[in-house]
Structure 1
Amino acid sequence: MSVEPQAYDFRSPDRLSRQREQALQVVVETWARRVSTVLSTALHTIVPAKMVALGQCTYGEYLESMARPSVLGALSVENLPGGGHAQLSLGDALAFVDRMLGGSGTGAQPERPLTEIESGVAELLLAQMVGELPFSFTVIGDLPVALTGLESTVRFHQVARTTDPVVTVELELFVFERSVPLTACITLSTLTPLLTSLDKMADDDGAGERAAQVRRVVTERLGQVDVELQISFREVTLTSAEVFALAVGDVVPLRHRTEEPLVVSAGGVRVARATPGSHGRRLAVQIVP
């Protein structure tokens, strides 16, 4: 598997760790499923949704990447600094509103700002989608994200400085046989308390988990080691003179009683007892108590 190199931004060195990114990916995938349910109900059609991007950039970079014109939902988290946005292009928002008000939701949409009634409907829909975020975050912690209003331009609701880091998400919605992007961002300072708690829990559980993993690996590897077994009769003791006097054809009595089990050993260590016998055409022993 090849991995494409990524540019390193020295202005924003605090990147998401792999552990944090994996945890947030679970959150976003949960949110995508719940957004699909919300839109399918509101638009009276099946709306699949999936995550296509999760990353970190500066607030200014996120603003530059937004479609223009856009409909922005202002996000805030109780008792935490910063905030964020949920964003749809103006044309997609108008199509959703058209569908919710009895239209087809297809075809070209007018290039104009939302009316007061359309703003109310669009805000209600975005509020329902954003309202699924707190539940989605419960897999890693408590983050009461809420929609606080609807804006047509970001200058009326700037949540951070342009150089501040934000976590960005992009969902791909399939509505009326076309792809519709839904993006969101939350300032990293807002997520930091939750992510720090997540790191602490991982550290507390990590040592025990790593030790258990090492034990599993060692046990598995030991189970694959070839061990040479020796099956032997009782040892026979001879004097040195008798040993030197041995010649071809001599018989050495074993002094092993027929009812006495044989000794099974590995590396010179006795591990079991066995009785002689056969298995098919092969000689064999059977382990006995």
Structure 2
Amino acid sequence: EISEDELHQLIEAARTSRDAPIASAQESAQRAPISYDFRRPQQVNEDQARRMEGIHEPFARLIAATLSSNMRMVIDVDLAFCSQLVYSEFIVSLANPSSSYSFSMKPFAGQALMSLGNELVMAIIDRNMGGQGQVFSADARAPTQIEMNVINKLATRILTDLEATWEPVARIEITEVALETSPEFSQITAPSDGVFVVAFEANARTASGLVHLCYPLSSLDPLLPRLTPSYRDPDRERRRPTDVQ
């Protein structure tokens, strides 16, 4: 966090620079370099971040349909935010317990993570066990094996939705799915590595909860060129019918 003194210095610097003459190239070159926080790597540019948001907006609708079908009630799901941070910060932000599924996105290397918040998980379990889909304070616990069978089936459907979500960008196959209920044991990348997080908020009449997708930037790296406006998929270009002469 920035201190009050640092804030005043920034304001004063902004006022000074507004009235100061434009410096020469030589003067600019002699200035001290701008500091860079390597704990917060920004490897996804603005265009790519907007594309990631656009890709996952339909995913929110797919999750809503899947959850509504499973719980037999209307579930609204909205994309809450997209953010870049380091993996350790993301893990700390998750509730413990939560149902976190690591997975691979073939044919691309690396792993990603989908985390279902415990309030949402317990509401799903309650509904599937004949309840109203409510959450009770005593449910701040990891699900039992029988309860996990219910959630695992639902998670499989949601991950199938994720495959469809990526279809406009790349054909992926989600494999090697593994569950952890303690977030700190979900080691899909190094704690200091950068990640791109997409968060969704699910709301029902009786409960609400969060769904997170976490993509390590190393896993996204081969996909980043496809997230630029100028990208043209060579495979799709070859599949286009030839023009009639």
Q: TM range, normalised to the smaller chain?
A: 0.7 to 0.9
Pick one of 152, 176, 199 that aligns with 2:181. Answer: 152
CA shift in 2, pair 1:67/1:186, >3 Å:
same
1:139 matched residue in structure 2: 168
2:38 matched residue in structure 1: 10
Q: Normalised by the size of structure 2, how large is the TM-score?
A: 0.73
- Counterparts of 1:48-197 in structure 2, within 5 Å, are 48-108=76-136, 109-146=138-175, 148-197=177-226
Give CA-to-partner distance per residue, 1:116-147, whole Å, 9 cap, x none.
Answer: 11111111112211211111112222233347
Counterpart residue type for residue 70 of structure 1: S
**SS of aligned partner of 1:57:** strand
Alpha-carbon distance in structure 1 between the residues aligned to 2:176 and 2:80: 23
CA shift in 2, pair 1:122/1:193, >3 Å:
same
Detail structure 1 runs of 4+ shifted over 4 Å in the superposition.
none
Pick one of 56, 79, 98 that aligns with 1:28. Answer: 56
Counterpart residue type for residue 67 of structure 1: A
CA shift in 2, pair 1:37/1:126, >3 Å:
same
| TM-aligned CA deviation for residue 203 of structure 1 | 6.1
Alpha-carbon distance in structure 1 between the residues aligned to 2:216 and 2:125: 29
1:261 matched residue in structure 2: none
In structure 1, runs of 5+ residues without a counterpart are 1-7, 206-289
**SS of aligned partner of 2:81:** strand
**SS of aligned partner of 1:186:** strand
Give CA-to-partner distance per residue, 1:252-286, whole Å, 9 cap, x none.
Answer: xxxxxxxxxxxxxxxxxxxxxxxxxxxxxxxxxxx
Alpha-carbon distance in structure 1 between the residues aligned to 2:227 and 2:116: 30
2:71 matched residue in structure 1: 43
**SS of aligned partner of 1:202:** coil
Alpha-carbon distance in structure 2 between the residues aligned to 1:180 and 1:105: 12
Higher helix share: 2
Alpha-carbon distance in structure 2 between the residues aligned to 1:198 and 1:183: 20
Aligned-pair identity in percent equals 26
* Range 170-179 or range 47-56, more displaced: 170-179
Alpha-carbon distance in structure 1 between the residues aligned to 2:186 and 2:135: 31
> Greater relative contact order (Cα 8 A, min sep 6): structure 1 or 2?
2
| TM-aligned CA deviation for residue 94 of structure 1 | 1.6
**SS of aligned partner of 1:167:** strand
Structure (1 or 2) with the larger CA radius of gyration: 1
| TM-aligned CA deviation for residue 174 of structure 1 | 0.8
Higher strand share: 1
**SS of aligned partner of 2:230:** helix
Alpha-carbon distance in structure 1 between the residues aligned to 2:195 and 2:40: 10
Give CA-to-partner distance per residue, 1:153-173, whole Å, 9 cap, x none.
Answer: 234431000111111011011
Alpha-carbon distance in structure 1 between the residues aligned to 2:80 and 2:117: 17
Aligned-residue CA RMSD (Å)? 2.3
1:245 matched residue in structure 2: none
Q: Normalised by the size of structure 1, how large is the TM-score?
A: 0.62
Number of equivalenced pairs:
198
CA shift in 2, pair 1:188/1:143, >3 Å:
farther
